[in-house]
Structure 1
């Protein structure tokens, strides 16, 4: 039986979570793991008093937890494992090694979009009340609140956002078989043919 490791890659604001939901509809037994959920867990359970503490928390807690959890599910032989994140070369080597160790075929679905569109989406999302507060504050502990998200202390600037995308080369991440979609206009994006193809391929490999 073949096993598949599907990576949803692309800059923030490309709709990876939406695609994750579409995949879940097709593969209800898949295992999904996201670094952002783990970041939020540690922010709520430990918190941080400054950005240096947050960065250290990611290095010493978040990433080790992610790779350990991923290894456990791969070792258990989950047929379909899906992860979404703005992946970069920072994670590529470890992900490739794990896929090889546990015998997973890797598929990358990379989402791209015009930068100005991405910035508008990011700007809007950071000011929505549903956005986890730890992403937009330079200090955070569980129970903190901020009614007016415009007053957050760690809003990213357009210039900094562009530099991160460029420096980390989100649009170039690729591991295994690559499928790419331009999601500048969500209304023009149709994942149906890809989802059909994946469903058929995975069913045939039972």
Structure 2
């Protein structure tokens, strides 16, 4: 049986990490590899003084993500990744998974943009959210008493343009499923988890 890569894609704020945890509970043979977690590790280790330095660290974090992913897939491990993937990542992911002969499943999560902006804002203001996401200057240990004062919070216009212009909702690699999470309800992921189980076991 081929090893499998599950890509949880789609708009920001759709609950990709929540679904990832559900999948990990159901399929303990999988492990999580998050591009955002690697970014946060780089931000904590090096810090940044401005947006240019921040972008350099983001580029380095993607290099590490791809190297780590390739090593895991070459070792025939099963991996879940959550991120608003787009054309920027498509070619590299396709190349890696083709070279490693890995089965790929993509789940594209979408919702009404107005709803997602509210969820994204709540997430950015949550104390558990890494400050590097919402600041233009960051070093580990920095404190921000009021997150509403963060200088890199997205406006609705910026959030809308990102969602609509970057093709988050169009990403597709391997067998692809699409879920609308505008309305959340109990057991809403049971069906998709059953579908994924069939593919993994085929």
Deviations 1:2-58 (A, max 9, x none): 221110001111000010001001111212111100010000000100011101111
1:51 alignment partner in structure 2: 51
Q: What does residue range 1-206 of structure 1 map to in structure 2 within 5 Å?
A: 1-59=1-59, 61-78=60-77, 80-187=78-185, 190-202=188-200, 204-205=201-202
1:131 shift after superposition: 1.2
1:188 shift after superposition: 6.6
**Structure 1 alignment gaps of length 5 or more:** none
Number of residue equivalences:
202
Task: Return the alpha-carbon distance in structure 1 between the equivalents of residues 23 and 67 of structure 2.
Answer: 23
Is the contact between residue 182 and residue 189 of structure 1 (CA under 8 Å) also seen in structure 2?
Answer: no
User: Hey, which bits of structure 1, 4+ residues long, moved more than 4 A?
Assistant: none
Task: Return the alpha-carbon distance in structure 1 between the equivalents of residues 105 and 131 of structure 2.
Answer: 32
RMSD of Structure 2 on Structure 1 (CA): 1.3
**Deviates most, 108-117 or 148-157:** 148-157
Task: Return the alpha-carbon distance in structure 1 between the equivalents of residues 195 and 152 of structure 2.
Answer: 42
1:189 shift after superposition: 6.5
**Structure 2 alignment gaps of length 5 or more:** none
Task: Return the alpha-carbon distance in structure 2 between the equivalents of residues 191 and 83 of structure 1.
Answer: 17
